[in-house]
């Protein structure tokens, strides 16, 4: 199943393997692309990954997780981003980008959030966003989506997971507002409406969510699915399911530990799902798809260690996939 193609809208993925967004902290301070990014993403495309989703890319300078995250808050970022898209396409993979505002988890001088509640640790207490702050942020998501289209990305992922701004609004643990945005679905809907007004309807739109906070009173698969269902008719095509990140809590992680969450979100929303969580083998990924836990599988840390994971281990599942011609002498 892992090496079976999948079509969503006009986009056909050659396999179900996904490289998820992982911060590389390797951008220039102005958020621009460096040569590292071309090597990093190009290597995984050469390695046969069907869909590569670029790391969290900041929609505003003060919304970056760190000052060395990639940026998409200016048209000046578009040429560099196009270079990433081109190298991914040149080697046969689909190019996605995740756009993000880190909210209270931004390592900046003056972070903002839905409420003045710190994440904890050495994070600062954020300023509670005003209505105008929220409107400005919605516009920033819209402008980022337009730039992502201009750069040529095939898929756009909105980051609504891991305790960043969109998720902060969705979680009752971080959102204590008393206005209309007390319901985090209101902010999510406004972002979705803004993004879909500029993101082409024929291109794939994805939302990443955390389906559990592993603590009492936090988001659950049921509540996050309710939020997804409230906006899916606006043009949402795909859900990327993860967990945690909004409160400091120890998570018992093991190979495939989030696949039960992705299966539940798939059942409750009826949408195609990207699932994962310490997936360390192609066999585990293949089984997850076969058992209906997800439709695609993301490989995170293992792809950092083994960029040619699929090429090296496809034969273990009985697949003889195309090998890059320059590397054919290295094929087992």
Give the DSSP letter string of 175-202: ----SGGGSHHHHHHHHHHHHHTTS-TT
| Tally of CB atoms within 10 A around 251 | 14
Non-local (6+) Cβ contacts of 250 within 8 A are none
Non-local (6+) Cβ contacts of 265 within 8 A are 209, 211, 221, 224, 225, 228, 239, 241, 273
Convert 144-171 to b/e letters by CB count within 10 Å (16 or more is b): bbbbbbebbbbbbbbbbbbbbbbbbbbb
Q: Which CATH superfamily is domain 13-253+263-268 in?
A: Aldolase class I (3.20.20.70)
CA nearest neighbour of 18 among 322, 328, 272, 292: 272
Which pLDDT belongs to residue 330? 83
Sign, CA torsion 174/199/58/298: positive
**160, 113 contact by CB (below 8 A):** no
**Which residues make beta-bridge pairs with 95?**
52
Residuewise pLDDT in 10s, the chain (332 residues) = 999 999 999 999 999 999 999 999 999 999 999 999 999 999 999 999 999 999 999 999 999 999 999 999 999 999 999 999 999 999 999 999 999 999 999 999 999 999 999 999 999 999 999 999 999 999 999 999 999 999 999 999 999 999 999 999 999 999 999 999 999 999 999 999 999 999 999 999 999 999 999 999 999 999 999 999 999 999 999 999 999 999 999 999 999 999 999 999 999 999 999 999 999 999 999 999 999 999 999 999 999 999 999 999 988 888 888 889 998 888 87
**214, 246 contact by CB (below 8 A):** no
Distances (CA, A) of 196 to 160, 203, 230, 317: 16, 10, 15, 39
Please state the pTM of the whole predicted model.
Answer: 0.96
Question: Where do the structural domains in the chain lie, given as residue ranges?
Answer: 13-253+263-268
The CA-CA-CA angle for residues 50, 155, 196, to 5°, reads: 160
Which pLDDT belongs to residue 114? 98
Q: Maximum Cα–Cα distance for the chain, whole Å?
A: 64
């Amino acid at each position: 199943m892992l090496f079976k193609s999948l079509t969503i809208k006009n986009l056909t993925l050659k396999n179900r393997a996904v490289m998820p967004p992982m911060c590389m902290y390797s951008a220039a301070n102005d958020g621009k692309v460096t040569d590292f990014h071309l090597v990093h993403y190009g290597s995984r495309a050469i390695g046969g990954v069907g869909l590569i989703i670029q790391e969290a890319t900041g929609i505003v300078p003060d919304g970056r997780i760190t000052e060395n995250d990639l940026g998409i808050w200016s048209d000046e970022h578009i040429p560099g981003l196009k270079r990433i898209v081109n190298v991914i396409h040149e080697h046969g993979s689909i190019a996605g980008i995740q756009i993000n505002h880190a909210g209270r988890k931004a390592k900046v001088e003056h972070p903002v959030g839905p409420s003045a509640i710190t994440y904890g640790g050495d994070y600062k207490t954020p300023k509670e966003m005003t209505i105008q702050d929220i409107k400005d942020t919605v516009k920033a998501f819209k402008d980022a989506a337009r730039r992502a289209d201009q750069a040529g990305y095939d898929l756009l992922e909105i980051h609504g997971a891991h305790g960043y701004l969109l998720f902060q609004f969705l979680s009752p643990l971080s959102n204590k507002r008393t206005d209309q945005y007390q319901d985090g679905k209101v902010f999510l809907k406004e972002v979705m409406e803004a993004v879909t007004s500029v993101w082409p309807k024929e291109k794939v739109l994805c939302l990443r969510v955390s389906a559990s906070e592993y603590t009492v009173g936090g988001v659950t698969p049921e509540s996050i699915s309710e939020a997804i269902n409230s906006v899916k008719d606006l043009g949402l095509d795909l859900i990327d399911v993860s967990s945690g990140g909004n409160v400091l809590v120890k998570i018992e992680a093991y190979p495939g530990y989030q696949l039960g969450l992705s299966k539940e979100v798939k059942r409750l929303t009826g949408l195609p799902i990207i699932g994962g969580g310490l997936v360390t083998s192609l066999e585990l990924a293949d089984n997850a798809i076969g058992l209906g836990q997800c439709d695609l599988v993301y490989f995170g840390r293992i792809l950092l260690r083994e960029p040619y994971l699929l090429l090296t281990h496809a034969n273990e599942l009985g697949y003889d996939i195309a090998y890059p011609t320059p590397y054919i002498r290295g094929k087992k």
